[in-house]
Amino acid sequence: MTVNKRLLFGSLAVAAALVAGVSVAAANRGDDTNTLDDVTLSSSNDLVPPIGTNAAVTGRSFPKVNVDTLSGDAFNTADLIGRPLIVNFWYSTCAPCKRELPAFAAAQNKFGDRVRFVGVDSLAGSDRDSEEAFARDRGVQYELFYDENGELTSAVGIATSPQTLFIDARGTIVEQTGELTADKLEELIRTKLL
């Protein structure tokens, strides 16, 4: 059998499986329309986000869980609350994270007297010393923590990095976003935290 015939038969098999699936779904609904127009998926915010999607957490309280310091000591995130806070989830092999770290370093230099900046390395099993050096080489001087067991990352439903949370002094997440430019970061600080 030639490659073209195998491709044709493979394509026909896939098409037949799709038609059969739609037919079974319609039969289970009790009609014979053979469409999936009426399929409804749950939209509960309590569901775990699918791969590549971060949970919507704006309006929720920032979780109070333990993360690790560079030396491996436990640090409770409850101790971060009390003034406006930015928490950036990152790791060194994340290309967008690399691009935005200098913007966070510059913003901390500009707003650090009014806003607390924190970086959370969310890559399990990372070499903390290397990660710390990577961030420091890009100008980061703010606090860095490590979410080795994924407790914080899981509590805020992070599936992809970078992800940044803007948290007011009471501990409410007022904004969340992916990769940021320096201008957008400054705009969000001014409009959401100051």
**pLDDT score recorded for residue 71:** 94
d(CA 34, CA 94) in angstroms, rounded, equals 43
**pLDDT score recorded for residue 194:** 97
Domain residue extents for the chain = 1-40, 66-193
The pTM of this model reads 0.73
**pLDDT score recorded for residue 175:** 98
Instruction: Summarize pLDDT for 84-135 with one digit per residue, the tens.
Output: 999 999 999 999 999 999 999 999 999 999 999 999 998 878 799 999 999 9
CB atoms within 10 A of CB 144: 21
Counting residues of the chain whose pLDDT is more than 70, the rounded percentage is 73
Burial (CB count <10 Å: 0-12, 13-18, 19+), residue 177: middle
Q: φ and ψ at 39, to 5 degrees?
A: -70, 130
- Whether the per-residue pLDDT at 17 is higher than 50: the answer is no
Q: What topology is assigned to 66-193 in CATH?
A: Glutaredoxin (3.40.30)
